[in-house]
């Protein structure tokens, strides 16, 4: 997607890609602990949770998946299908789950800001997926605290987060519905 903020976002992606290579195991554990304390994950109305399989320097969510499966939540993962993301119980199964069935989305990002904006990998996949969600679905960004900056550029199609969880803090944002 090209837009007025595309160049700024590309520079941010390059900046954060250069931060890989150091051990993040303690930070990942701390972020996962914060995610596991989110009440929204355990509400009776939360039946289906969309997770992700971490790529590169994203916070891994295997422990979150294990815990949510233990308490009976249905877990789905994004699968790239052309220019879109579809949801499936795991990446190897052809079964697809409608985006409208998801109650909570846990979303990775290259960077987030303190207002709930997100910069992803640049393909717009998550923004297109999240644009199709139910109005009452919760969207939670997850990253390491050093990936949070004061303000990110924004394009009209960018989908803001309802909350952000890091290894050092969690932020909630004003409802945008």
Q: Could you tell me which CATH number the domain at 6-172 has? A: 3.40.50.10420
End-to-end alpha-carbon separation of the chain, Å?
24
Residue corresponding to tokens 């972020």: 31
Helix (H) or strand (E) holding 23: none
- Please report the pLDDT score of residue 13 as a whole number: 66
Regarding beta strands 111-113 and 148-149, do their DSSP bridges make them parallel or antiparallel, or are they unpaired? parallel
**Residues, the chain:** 177
Structure tokens at 118: 């997100």
Domain boundaries, the chain: 6-172
User: pTM value?
Assistant: 0.87
Lowest mean pLDDT among 6-15, 91-100, 138-147: 6-15
Is 66's pLDDT higher than 60? yes
pLDDT digits (tens, 9 = 90+) for 28-53: 999 999 999 999 999 999 999 999 99
């Amino acid at each position: 997607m090209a837009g007025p903020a595309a160049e700024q976002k590309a520079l941010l992606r390059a900046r954060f890609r250069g931060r890989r290579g150091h051990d993040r195991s303690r930070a990942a554990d701390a972020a996962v602990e914060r995610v596991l304390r989110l009440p929204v994950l355990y509400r009776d109305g939360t039946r289906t949770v969309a997770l992700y399989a971490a790529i590169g320097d994203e916070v891994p969510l295997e422990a979150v998946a294990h815990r949510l499966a233990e308490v009976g939540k249905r877990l789905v993962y994004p699968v790239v299908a052309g220019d879109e993301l579809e949801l499936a119980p795991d990446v190897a199964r052809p079964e697809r789950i409608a985006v409208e069935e998801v109650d909570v989305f846990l979303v990775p990002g290259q960077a987030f800001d303190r207002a709930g904006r997100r910069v992803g990998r640049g393909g717009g996949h998550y923004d297109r997926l999240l644009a199709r969600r139910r109005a009452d679905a919760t969207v939670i960004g997850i990253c390491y605290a050093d990936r949070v900056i004061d303000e990110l550029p924004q394009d009209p199609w960018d989908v803001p987060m309802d909350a952000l969880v890091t290894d050092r803090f969690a932020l909630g944002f004003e409802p945008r519905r």
